[in-house]
Chains A and B, each alone.
Chain A
Amino acid sequence: MKTSPSMLPKPASFTATNLIFIGRSLRHSLRNVEALIMAIMLPILLMLLFTYVFGGAIDPTGDYVNYVVPGIILLCAGFGSSSTAVDVATDMTNGIIDRFRTMPIRSVSVVAGHVAASLARNLLATCIVIGVALLVGFRPSAGAWEWIAALGVIILFILTYTWLFAAIGLVTGSPSAASGYGFALLFLPYLSSAFVPTNTMPSWLQGFANHQPVTPVIETIRGLLAGTPIGDNGWWAISWCAAILLIALVWCAIAFRRKSGRR
């Protein structure tokens, strides 16, 4: 009895494969209750902390909330996307990746699934930040187009961070190592104009703060939402994100091929 491959159902298409893996990762997100609570609580706590605890000291006029919202969005996006490194590393150390790779499908889609789920989680966190901000006095000047543009920049930033974390998850050997290596990325928003204007920092730090990727992203979002001047920050933000995103994607593709063949 010969069962030729042509008698089998055609394997899932590229689109279908991606959708199936996105569904899988979303289920994972919903079932990881601790992480989900963290993703919801963190934006609320940070928003309240920066407005009521630090805000008065930084800006006694009480207007600090209008300054800090973009920073908190990015800080939460960093935390939210860092779990992608752990999710990806877990898959790569589990036998399930071998199963996917021996099927006639594009198995790298398993990573894309985690990225899509991270985007969904982070957009939820972003909505919570904005919602809480509005409750505690955030008064954005943005019209509909500015909101859409700001959302576009936020999505681009989340995708960039998430693919970077996915690459970290692919190259580190274990889930716990993966969660450790992302630390530097989580620290970047603090060394930017997210929480205080960079001209209040010592001059040696200003050099870094003004020229690192997070600052133009923050300034662009702030400009769109609160009406501060954007200048050339918009182009810098998009260029930085696009370049890092491209590097992260290539890094992921190479790491995936190398890693999964080596086990």
Chain B
Amino acid sequence: MSTLAIEVNGLRKRFGKQTVLDGINLAVAKGTIFALLGPNGAGKTTLIHILSTLTEPDSGHARIDGYDVVGDRKEVRNSISLTGQFAAVDEVLTGEENLKMMCRLSGLSVKESSARTAELLKSFDLAGAAGKRVKTYSGGMRRKLDLAVSLVVHRPVLFLDEPTTGLDTISRRALWDIILRLKQQGMTIFLTTQYLEEADQLADTIAVINRGRVVASGTADELKARVSGEVIELRNGNDELLRTVPTSGGIEDVRHKLNEIAHSFASDTRISIRKPSMDDVFLALTAKETEAALV
């Protein structure tokens, strides 16, 4: 049996004259977190819409748990759960009513629905707001409810389209914890994000997408290794960044670079050597693409 939860081969999609996806290939192993990283308009949401049966591709194939997203739509819908970019909850209903409605639609009995709703409200720390209308919820609470609604019955593959966009740091970290917990329970999670840190923190594998193409993929470390060398950072006593200097990281090169610049900085300047961040990687990868497109 295949160990892949998601397989994508040569997927293309155009809207009118605009090519949104230009031959996407991806593979996501079962029980892992996969992050699709890209700027606005890169095609992330379109890809999620195709994988979750909302939109049909023009050409190419995609399989979820072995089921084709076009041919076996019904089986795919039984295998997935989607949390879209905008909180997909009913604002007029209360949190509890939202969960109960989704439980009932998923085929649970009235009694099972109440039990499952209570369980989810508790584990998502929403019990206190259960009887309040969603309209009054904060962004973080809404997102948590949104995620809870996706989990009323166990579906092996979860799609999260920009799950933490617009959230404050505390809510974002709370959501990260939940996502990691879901992975421990054996779910496969496919998320899109604009935040490099998020992909770095959560994902087992990352694909960087730009202009409808996958420009790089691999683990966070593999991607970082693609930007060669390391970086020397110089900071003053107040921890303000004064300068960054590229280096191979070898002792000879570091000494040489420091000798060159040491005289122009105060004696209490502190140095550190770091690996390139995901930001460096992302900028390098997408800049290359944009340059190529301009030529």
| Chain A interface residues toward B at CB < 8 A | 1-3, 5, 8-12, 16-17, 20, 23-24, 27-28, 31-32, 94-96, 98-105, 260-261, 263
Instruction: Decide: B84 and A98 in contact? CB cutoff 8 A.
Output: yes
Contact assessment for B154 and A3 in the assembled complex, using a CB-CB cutoff below 8 Å: yes
What's the dominant secondary structure at chain B's contact region? loop
Q: Cβ of B78 and Cβ of A5 under 8 Å apart?
A: yes
The one of B1, B78, B82, B150 that contacts A8, using a Cβ cutoff of 8 Å: B78
CB distance from A86 to the nearest CB of B (A): 13
Measured in the bound complex, the distance between the Cα atoms of B198 and A190 in whole Å is: 60
Chain A residues near B156 (CB-CB < 8 A)? 2-3
CB proximity of B2 to chain A, nearest CB, Å = 10
**For residue A105, which residues in chain B have a CB less than 8 angstroms away from its CB?**
105
B81 to chain A, nearest CB (A): 7
Report if B258 contacts A (CB, 8 A): no
Give Cα distance in the complex from A96 to B102, angstroms: 11
Q: State how many residues of chain B have any CB contact under 8 Å with chain A.
A: 43
- Tell me, in angstroms, the Cα distance from A222 to B86 when the chains sit together: 49
Q: How far is B172's CA from A71's CA once the two chains are assembled, in angstroms?
A: 57
Residue contact A17 to B53, C-beta cutoff 8 Å: no
Q: How far is the CA of A1 from the CA of B106 in the complex (A)?
A: 22
Kindly state whether residue B275 has any CB partner on chain A within 8 Å: no
CB distance from A55 to the nearest CB of B (A): 39
Specify the chain A residue showing the minimal Cβ separation from B185: A1
Supposing A8-B154, A95-B87, A96-B90 touch, asked if A103 and B105 sit within 8 A by C-beta, the answer is: yes
Given contacts A24-B90, A27-B93, A31-B92, contact A102 B53 (CB under 8 A): yes
Q: Is the CB of B107 within 8 A of A98?
A: no
Q: In the complex, A57→B58 CA distance in Å?
A: 66
How long is the Cα–Cα vector from A2 to B3 in the complex, in angstroms? 10
Report Cα–Cα, A105/B75, bound state, in Å: 12
Asked if B54 and A102 sit within 8 Å, CB to CB, the answer is yes
**Contact across chains for B55 and A1 when beta carbons are under 8 A apart:** no
